Amino acid sequence: MKIFTVQQLAEADKVTIEKQGITSEELMERAAGLVFKEIHARLNNESVPIKIICGIGNNGGDGLVVGRLLIEHGYYVSIYVVNFTKERSRDFLSNYNKIKEIGAPWPTLLKGAEDFPELHPKDFVIDAIFGIGLNRPPEGWVADLIHYINASGAFILSIDMPSGLFSTKTPEPGDAVIKANYTLTFQAPKLVYYLPKTAEFVGNYQVLNIGLDYEYLAAAPAEAQLIDKEEAKNLYIPRKNFSHKGDYGHSMIIGGSYGKIGSISLSAKAALRTGAGLVTIYSPECGYEILQSILPEAMVIIDEGEKELKNIQFEPEPDVICFGMGAGISAATVKTFESLLKKTKSPMVIDADGLNMLSNNKGFLKLIPKNSVLTPHPKELERLLGEWKDDFDKLAKAKEFTNKYEVILVIKDAHSITVSGDNLYINNTGNPGMATAGAGDVLAGVITSLISQKYEPLIAAVFATYLHGKAGDIAASKLSYQGMIAGDIVDNIGAAFLDLFKNDDRGME
Ligand SMILES: NC(=O)C1=CN([C@@H]2O[C@H](COP(=O)(O)OP(=O)(O)OC[C@H]3O[C@@H](n4cnc5c(N)ncnc54)[C@H](OP(=O)(O)O)[C@@H]3O)[C@@H](O)[C@H]2O)[C@@H](O)CC1
Ligand SMILES: Nc1ncnc2c1ncn2[C@@H]1O[C@H](COP(=O)(O)OP(=O)(O)O)[C@@H](O)[C@H]1O
Ligand SMILES: [K+]
């Protein structure tokens, strides 16, 4: 699903009104009507006190429409208007008058702290103060009102955006931003729904299709792509009946050191479970017996170093090399990594200590084969890019980095983001149970395996991140967030593939 900027959405709004021959008030009625429907379906005429807090722009207008429809359906509704200015948007005003027409009590005007409504934990608050038109931080008593709503303990449903949340910057601690339990948004999710410092304000969310002009949206370049099952399914390459292991490539997993052999075994097993034809593990000597015993399907080549990698030499050349898990960063390992970078021409996957070596030796960056996939978690990314001001600055720096070195970055997080040039792909699978040792090693193996099966490195990164998260979700559904470990993610990669085609006639070919 495409994620658009606020400017694009405003433009789509205009184009829709023109092409569909409707008024903006009709579009507001359509959009807010869908919000009403969702609320009505959930509340099912329950007599919960509903308090709608409206601004004076179109977000407030939406709040008024929702209020009118709820009143007409017999709900117990109080409407408040935050009178931070005398200005009103046109569609706000016409819907304000419509409240009078249905004979409902006039909305209460809030002019300062003394007017704040009583709020109770059992209230259902609809936040329609600011939407995507927020253009400066809320101040004074309006900021106090936002903090007051948050502190009430009431269930908060935000329309379009939690009020006070900007679409292009992250709040500072203490800023006035509604902390919604649920957000109902129009047409497309917003980038801030997926970033570490902003997602917490959004709560759960749902996207309502308000029928904005399809042609405009299809042609508009996406600010980012959200990768869900629909998108992931389209990336899948079916396996042919008449094929052999050579068709699915040879993955080589290089890494490990004394006490950290488990990492490469997880990557290698993940590569096998993702469908690589052949997997070779290249390890320090101390890993030999362990690896041969726990993973008979993989071949093992050992380095001359007993406890760490010292002189990486192998034959024949694999289709793709994954480097770094558990490798450590001793001087000898750094040196042999440098030679490996110099002699490798095809795209690699670089993870963990491979990334740390790149950060400590910035001169190595230009040696990375083009189109390689780097998989940093936030700390590794910071070592690689330097500090960033906020999540937006982080993404800008990541784009610059991938452009400069012609590589692909998978920024691992709750919503991992694959960055390639100016393109962002946001993953929508995964769960907190994956915050467990070795989960990242598994992802590196899945990406490597897909590249060896001839997926383009960018597609491999995006698809692997989806499958890895889905495998984690399936593992969590059986074992709980607490009970699952990285090996369970590996064990459910197959189920993640099968899930792609569940409820779909196409099936896995
Ligand atoms: N696009 C779509 O697809 C559709 C969008 N729709 C809805 O429209 C919403 C956008 O509406 P919007 O543009 O009127 O802006 P909105 O968010 O109501 O608030 C801005 C108002 O507040 C003001 N203001 C700003 N910051 C302020 C501050 N800190 N402190 C004080 N004042 C501040 C600013 O005025 P200013 O003072 O800057 O002149 C302006 O008046 C959108 O989120 C969705 O709900 C649907 O109805 C139909 C389909
Ligand atoms: N809360 C979470 N929600 C979704 N995915 C998560 C969460 N926490 C971690 N993950 C995923 O688990 C993996 C953890 O990787 P990493 O931190 O490198 O672990 P390790 O170094 O132990 O292997 C990443 O792919 C990350 O996206
Ligand atoms: K809002």
**CA–CA–CA angle 299, 301, 303 (5° rounding):** 160
- pLDDT values of the chain reduced to their tens digit, one per residue, 509 residues: 999 999 999 999 999 999 999 999 999 999 999 999 999 999 998 989 999 999 999 999 999 999 999 999 999 999 999 998 899 999 999 999 999 899 888 999 999 999 999 999 999 999 999 999 999 999 999 999 999 999 999 999 999 999 999 999 999 999 999 999 999 999 999 999 999 999 999 999 999 999 999 999 999 999 999 999 999 999 999 998 888 888 889 999 999 999 999 999 999 999 999 999 999 999 999 999 999 999 999 999 999 999 999 999 999 999 999 999 999 999 999 999 999 999 999 999 999 999 999 999 999 999 999 999 999 999 999 999 999 999 999 999 999 999 999 999 999 999 999 999 999 999 999 999 999 999 999 999 999 999 999 999 999 999 999 999 999 999 999 999 999 999 999 999 999 999 999 986 555 54
Tally of CB atoms within 10 A around 96: 20
Measured from the CA of 380, which atom of ligand 2 is nearest?
18
Beta strands in 17-152 (DSSP E): 50-54, 77-82, 108-110, 124-128
Ligand index nearest the alpha carbon of residue 126 = 3
**Residue 309 · residue 334 · CB < 8 Å:** no
How many Å lie between the centroid of ligand 2 and the Cα of residue 435?
Answer: 5
Is 275 annotated as ligand-binding? no
Q: Is residue 353 lining ligand 2, measured as CB closer than 6 Å?
A: no
Q: For ligand 2, what atom is nearest to the CA of residue 412? A: 27
Cα pseudo-dihedral 167, 173, 174, 179, rounded to 10: 50
Residue 153, annotated as binding a ligand = no
Distance CA 100, CA 80 (A): 14
What whole-number distance in Å separates Cα of residue 51 and Cα of residue 124? 6
CA of 81 to the centre of ligand 3 (A): 13
User: Is residue 434 within 6 Å of ligand 2 at its C-beta?
Assistant: yes
Q: Establish whether 147 is an annotated binding residue.
A: no
Predicted local distance difference test score (pLDDT) of residue 508: 54
Give the CA distances from residue 261 to residues 276, 304, 356, 364, 509, in Å, rounded to whole numbers and listed in that order. 20, 16, 18, 25, 36
Output the residue whose Cα is nearest ligand 1's atom 25: 134
Rounded to whole angstroms, the Cα distance separating 83 from 142 reads 9
CB 442 within 8 A of CB 475: no
**Among protein residues, the one whose CA lies closest to atom 10 of ligand 2:** 434
> Which ligand is closest in space to the CA of residue 82?
1
Would you say the C-alpha torsion 162, 163, 166, 172 has a positive or negative sign?
Answer: negative
Residues β-bridged to residue 93? none
Indicate if ligand 1 lies below 6 Å from the C-beta of 58.
Answer: yes
Tell whether ligand 1 has an atom less than 6 A from the beta carbon of residue 57.
yes
Number of other residues whose CB lies within 10 A of the CB of residue 204? 9
Domains plus CATH for the chain?
Answer: 2-221 (3.40.50.10260), 328-500 (3.40.1190.20)
CA distance 154 to 152: 5
Q: Which of 434, 443, 446 is the pocket-test mutation for ligand 2 (most atoms within 8 Å of CB)?
A: 434
Residue by residue, DSSP assigns 332-382 as HHHHHHHHHHHH--S-EEE-HHHHHHHHH-GGGGGGSPTT-EE---HHHHH
229 C-alpha to center of ligand 3: Å? Answer: 29
Q: What is the rounded distance in angstroms from the CA atom of residue 380 to the CA atom of residue 393?
A: 16
3-class SS of residue 147: helix
Sequence-ordered list of residues with C-beta below 8 angstroms from that of 472, at least 6 positions apart, any chain:
429, 430, 431, 433, 434, 439, 484, 489, 492
Q: Which helix (H) or strand (E) holds 404?
A: helix 391-405
Give the distance (Å) from ligand 2 centre to CA of residue 434. Answer: 5
